[in-house]
A and B are shown apart, each in its own frame.
Chain A
Amino acid sequence: MSKGRFGVHGGQYIPETLMNAVNELEEAYNHYKNDPEFNKELEFLLNEYAGRPSRLYYAEKMTKDLGGAKIYLKREDLNHTGAHKINNVLGQALLAKKMGKTRLIAETGAGQHGVATATAAALMNMECVVFMGEEDTKRQALNVYRMRLLGATVIPVKTGTATLKDAVSEAMREWTSRISDTHYCLGSVMGPHPFPTIVRDFQAVISKEIKEEMLKKEGRLPDAVIACVGGGSNAIGSFYNFIEDKDVRLIGCEAAGRGIDTFETAATINTGRLGIFHGMKSYFCQDKDGQIAPVYSISAGLDYPGIGPEHAYLHDIKRAEYVAVTDEEAVNAFEYLARTEGIIPAIESSHALSYAMKLAPTLSKDKIIVVTVSGRGDKDCAAIARYRGEDINE
């Protein structure tokens, strides 16, 4: 079995043209991850620039209202640029810089990863090009403007379904045509090895902080950690330091779109099967001939037909559970958190919140749930208003 495997999943299914690029990246990462100087620089950026550690907030009103388990929110929405994506991007941009790269390219769905990459590029004086499905540039017009404001070039991708998967394909194509000065700053725990490992390691700060803070606040570990899953970077970041703690339930929430019994869904574990795509072996939504399915979710960030290989493995060994949450349920959670706690979560994160709203009342009051609020919801307000039949200007 080749490198970068999680059970049968993972690997490096990419064109020969890119093989030396990923090998070079792996070598650089293995060197710098143990380099005290690199880690000091990264920690400085995470703390002083991105605002870490993020808060672990006890959602008292939500807890009382739901009447069951105690709910804590891991506030990744409070990070600079408004989502967890900055954790990974600062790490990769710093690594790319050390490797002598001067240009970052990235794919983006909701635009959060694109904004984070454009931000890091501005900070570190690098050129930045972001690929974004044309459909998503419409759904997330505000983020397109933010990226441009930060000095990035945004390229709308018109091929295929014009969403996240097509943006990934196009970023990969761009990387094969320009490798020597360019780093592909992949935004999730997916793609060929070493990306799933690198992105996980940079996001693992989320579970490290949850663990430390939870021990301080409650003197024990939580009973469940819940996060939304598209490719799965905030989820793996939230789970990683709890994988060995078998009593902590790990729950990933996939986007069911209009329902897992419809074709308009993006719930990979619940509706997909094993396949090979975008550099990795994992689960994918696909038809009987292996053609990748045109998935759908109200959330541009979860609108992806695959899932990171480590999640596929955690599912196989039954260490994590993967549940499906519909558009309607997510929108309800979006509105609920705004009213109950005065926090507007990203529509992606709302999928995790929705499941927490279901789970909490079934657990006793001495149980503790942590929900990762992966991003803030300002970017989603116009789309949710439209979903509710109200047309507002962004």
Chain B
Amino acid sequence: MSRISEAFKNGKAFIPFITLGDPDLDTTEKIIIEMAKNGADIIELGIPFSDPTAEGPVIQEANLRALKGGINTDKVFEFTKKIRSLVNVSLVYMTYANVIFSYGSEKFISKCKEVGIDAIIVPDVPFEEREEFLPYCEKYGIDFIYLIAPTSNERIKMIAKEAKGFIYVVSSLGVTGVRSSITTDISSIVKSIKEETDVPCAIGFGIQTPDQAKEMSKSSDGVIVGSKIIKLLHENEAEAPSVIGKYVREMKEAMN
């Protein structure tokens, strides 16, 4: 049983996101430990990219702060190796195609295996371009996570059939960032997915409150939250790790 499948065995999964090195890796480490302690089932680690085209302002700024702080791909792997020895939770990377490609796709993905990463999420690599990384993911036993969007329609079947690990269901049009309400008919999207596969579905983009998490988890297997956590990080400075820990617990409890 892979760590990702395990992650969905403990009720509805809560998947928090954090940008690595924002504002520095010591802070990231404290936050990850608190997330794991408070019930995170998978933690999504964002590797910063200079021009994150799928992100809204909050995560864009987190990326730029982290890069300013001196993070780079080698430091990311070094850090992940360390964090892997401190927490048991499943860890996945979220980054952009050029970060992986530039490092050497095979080298990057073999490194993922080496440091204990379970999957990669690459928002600018759609199903049609999966050959860019998928062969290496299969070789090294890393899940390549597919995204399904409100606009996917007839593409859902084709994508769901090949999905491994979990499916990232994009809740809304547009980029990442907190939204006061989500109007997409998520349950019908998830229903179409479930007709093709048993792979779990986690919903992301725009979710921030325990009520939203509860609502979203009714029609899915888990919820992903990014921008809200970055906001908490910067609103609370030194207190951020414990505030985020508390938030993770609230979200996990609201869903289960």
Contact = CB atoms under 8 A, between A and B. Distances in A.
Contacts of A266: none
Interface stretch (A63-71, A253-261, A286-294): A286-294
Interface residues of B, number: 43
B182 to A, nearest CB: 13
B155 A176 contact: no
A19 B54 CA distance: 13
Nearest to B76: A289
Interface stretch (B98-106, B217-225, B239-247): B98-106
Interface of B: 49-51, 53-54, 56-57, 60, 64, 67, 72-73, 96-103, 123-129, 131-132, 146-153, 155, 159, 170, 173-175
Contacts, number: 123
Contacts of B126: 12-16, 19
Interface in A284-303: 284, 286, 288-292
Contact of A21 (B49, B151, B174): B151
B27 to A, nearest CB: 21
Interface stretch (A273-281, A308-316, A364-372): A273-281
Contacts of A17: 149-151, 170, 173-174
A38 to B, nearest CB: 26
A276 B98 CA distance: 5
B21 to A, nearest CB: 12
B131 A1 contact: yes
B170 A16 contact: yes
Given A179-B173, A291-B49, A13 B129 contact: yes
B175 A176 contact: yes
Interface in A161-189: 165-166, 169, 172-173, 176-179
A291 B50 contact: yes
A276 B173 contact: no
Interface of A: 1-3, 11-21, 159-160, 165-166, 169, 172-173, 176-179, 274-279, 284, 286, 288-292
Contact of B155 (A2, A12, A19, A291): A19
B160 to A, nearest CB: 12
B152 A16 contact: yes
24 contacts: A13-B124, A13-B129, A14-B124, A15-B149, A15-B170, A16-B127, A17-B149, A17-B173, A17-B174, A19-B128, A20-B152, A21-B151, A160-B64, A177-B174, A179-B173, A276-B124, A276-B132, A277-B97, A289-B73, A289-B99, A289-B102, A290-B73, A290-B100, A292-B98
A169 B72 CA distance: 22
Nearest to B71: A289
A286 to B, nearest CB: 7
Contacts of A286: 98, 102
Contacts of B147: 15-16
A78 to B, nearest CB: 36
A178 B73 contact: no
Contacts of B129: 2, 11-13
Contacts of B123: 15-16
Contacts of A177: 173-175
Name the 9 nearest CB pairs between A and B, nearest first.
Answer: A290-B102, A177-B174, A17-B149, A276-B97, A291-B50, A290-B98, A16-B147, A16-B149, A292-B50
Contacts of A21: 151
Nearest to B128: A2
Contacts of A20: 151-153, 155
A380 B153 CA distance: 47
Given A176-B174, A289-B72, 18 more contacts: A2-B128, A2-B129, A13-B97, A13-B124, A13-B129, A15-B124, A16-B127, A17-B149, A19-B149, A19-B151, A20-B155, A21-B151, A176-B175, A288-B102, A289-B102, A289-B103, A290-B49, A292-B51
A1 B129 CA distance: 8
A290 B173 CA distance: 27
A21 B174 CA distance: 13
Contacts of A289: 72-73, 99, 102-103
B174 A173 contact: yes
B51 A173 contact: no
Contact of B173 (A12, A19, A178, A284): A178
Contacts of B153: 20
Contacts of B64: 160
